[in-house]
Amino acid sequence: MKTSSQLLLTFLLNAVWQIALIAALASLGAWLLRRSSIRYQHWVWVAALCLSVLVPLITASRTQQADNVSTSAPKFERQLANPVLTNQSLAPQSTPSTGASTWSFQLNATLALALVIFYGALVLFRIFRLGQAWFNTRKVREAALPLEGDEAVEAIIRECAKRLNPDRIRFSVCSSATVAVPITIGFFRPVIILPDALIREGDEDLLTSAIGHELIHVARHDYVLNFLYELLFLPVSFHPAAALLRKRIKQTRELCCDELVAERILNAEVYARSLVALASSAPPLRRLSVTTTVGIADADILEARIMSLLSKPKLNRRSKKLVLMAVSLLLLIPSFAAAAIAMRFEIATTQDPTQQEKELVEKARADESRRETRTTEAFKERMARDPQFRAELQRKREVEMEMRAVKQSALVRLSRLSMDQAIQIATSQSPGKVLECTLDGDKWEEPGKLAKDGVVFYRVVIADEAVAGGATHVWVNAVDGSIIKTEKELPRRRSPENN
């Protein structure tokens, strides 16, 4: 729970400045593309919305990975020397990173909980509003009736569809008294709903403009894309810059449809007059109920739409390609560079220094164990894939075995007592059951040659009958049989987890 809260807070902290940066870059890119087709500006805003979710997610995941791999011992020593200060709500501290610049901020647990609850409530409210819009859209669809018997309208529909590649467009047209302007609904079976008043009026230019505009929405799959953009907006809906991106997407979407209608269906001047007439029939401020529909009156920028229709793009083909490339680099490079600059919240805990020190020591031990495991696995992997390393290791083992054999042979040659004699001498000094008896030497000049002051001895381990688990170690000179030294071994205490 603590880790997920830290991850969420890190996402929010980085989203605050990263989304603002992305929105500023998108605004600059849209300005550079002001003399080109409006659809390029539309995709700049769409890309900016996608990056507004993706970049903070990348930063949060990189920060989490950095927490998992930063296991160096000096880090624990610094933390032990400088325990966490919980009486400060925000205390900057630098942390090690793995390829990313990271700043860490200690956050009081109560404040962190409040932020998480506020963010969760905001997202739930946005989800509720989206669900409400979906419900209202279903009501509008249920109230619509199939359009049948109006030959003039059907002729306009056929003519508009013919100019927009009828093989790719599958749709139906309905009428409704509950809508004031034409709208489009539907994921897989799009439905264009026309107001009853518009059909009764029978103005051919108005009908052509309305139907052509909504057919463009169908051909562009704007209803589906609009719903996806709403889902993308949910996790960043707290940010005003994200709301601006969402608004610009809606506005440029309508401008794109206007541009295509003027290119393929109707004269720009005629369409502009029709657009004014259709927009005047829309509610003055906003829809009476929020829906997920897309329609001709979605963007409250009538003047900008008229100006866009009456002005033509001025960039030539070569200049347009250069500007598009520049805008793409302008948006992508700084955005992904920002993903490498991470700021994170760490929730401060109110625990005593002793407990904190114990946790840090346990964590250090666990990290050391993981490092040893990785070292062992790396050794096994190298043994499996490197024949030269395997042969070298085998050669070293053979040399060690050979040296051990030479040493043992020298010990047997230098010894004057047998093992049984050494045991008798030791047990006469300390009676008891013999647990172990080994022949060894001290101070070697070279393998197989004892130094002048070297000693060959037997080490005899005898169980202590008076103390359970105790033992006596007796060193017997293997040349003259003298007792070199005697040591007592106390029984080891067993830890509770071993019981």
Q: Which residue has the higher pLDDT, 171 or 64?
A: 171
Q: What are the residues facing 173 on neighbouring strands?
A: 192
User: How far apart are alpha carbons 310 and 205 in whole angstroms?
Assistant: 17
Band of the pLDDT at 273, cuts 50, 70, 90? confident
Please tell me the predicted confidence (pLDDT) of residue 288: 45
Residue 27 has pLDDT above 90, yes or no: yes
| Residue 303 pLDDT grade (very low, low, confident, very high; cuts 50, 70, 90) | confident
The pLDDT value recorded for residue 274 is 86
Q: What is the pLDDT of residues 119-176, one digit of tens each?
A: 999 999 999 999 998 998 899 888 888 887 778 888 888 888 888 875 566 788 898 8
pLDDT of res. 496? 44
Q: Which of 63-67, 177-181, 272-276, 325-329 is predicted least confidently?
A: 63-67
Residue 297 has pLDDT above 80, yes or no: no
How is domain 401-491 classified at the CATH fold level?
A: Nuclear Transport Factor 2; Chain: A, (3.10.450)
Query: pLDDT tens for residues 390-405?
Result: 888 888 888 888 888 8
Report the pLDDT value the prediction gives residue 372, as an integer from 0 to 100: 83
Using CA atoms, how far residue 226 sits from 13, 30, 186, 230, in Å, is 27, 20, 11, 6
Residue 247 confidence (pLDDT): 93
pLDDT in tens, 30-56: 999 888 888 999 999 999 999 999 999
What is the Cα 300 distance to its own chain's centre? 36
Amino acid 383: pLDDT: 80
- In the structure encoding, which two tokens stand for residue 357, read together? 């020190």
Closest CA to 56 of 326, 243, 242: 242
pLDDT over 70 for what percent of the chain?
84
Mean pLDDT of 296-322: 78
The pLDDT assigned to 371 comes to 84
Helix and strand tally (H, E) in the chain? 15, 12
276: its two tokens: 């004014």
DSSP category for residue 493: P
* Domain residue limits, the chain: 2-146+167-345, 351-376, 401-491
Burial of 169 (0-12, 13-18, 19+ CB in 10 A): middle
User: What per-residue confidence (pLDDT) applies to 469?
Assistant: 73
Is the pLDDT at 317 greater than 90? The verdict is no
Question: What per-residue confidence (pLDDT) applies to 95?
Answer: 45
Q: Which residue has the higher pLDDT, 233 or 87?
A: 233
Q: What is the pLDDT of residues 214-229, one digit of tens each?
A: 899 998 889 999 999 9
Confidence of residue 289 (pLDDT cuts 50, 70, 90): low
CA atoms within 13 A on the CB side of 166: 8
DSSP string computed for 281-335: TS-SSS-SS--S-EETT-SS-HHHHHHHHHS-----HHHHHHHHHHHHHHHHHHH
Average pLDDT, the chain: 81
Confidence of residue 452 (pLDDT cuts 50, 70, 90): confident
pLDDT of amino acid 202: 80
Residue the block writes with tokens 């000094």: 429
Beta-strand relationship, 101-107 and 172-176 = unpaired
> Per mean pLDDT, which range of 114-128, 231-245, 297-311 is the poorest?
297-311
The answer on pLDDT for 492 being more than 80 is no
- Given a cut of 70, whether residue 467 has pLDDT beyond it is yes
pLDDT of residue 250: 92
**Polymer length in residues for the chain:** 499
Lowest mean pLDDT among 285-289, 347-351, 392-396: 285-289
Which residue type is seen at 295?
G
Instruction: Taking residues 401-430, report their average pLDDT.
Output: 85
User: How far apart are alpha carbons 376 and 32 in whole angstroms?
Assistant: 57
Residue 272: the pLDDT is 87
Q: pLDDT band at residue 347, thresholds of 50, 70 and 90?
A: low
* Lowest model confidence (mean pLDDT) among 122-136, 271-285, 322-336: 271-285
| Mean pLDDT of the 480-499 span | 69
Quick one: what percent of the chain has pLDDT higher than 90? 18
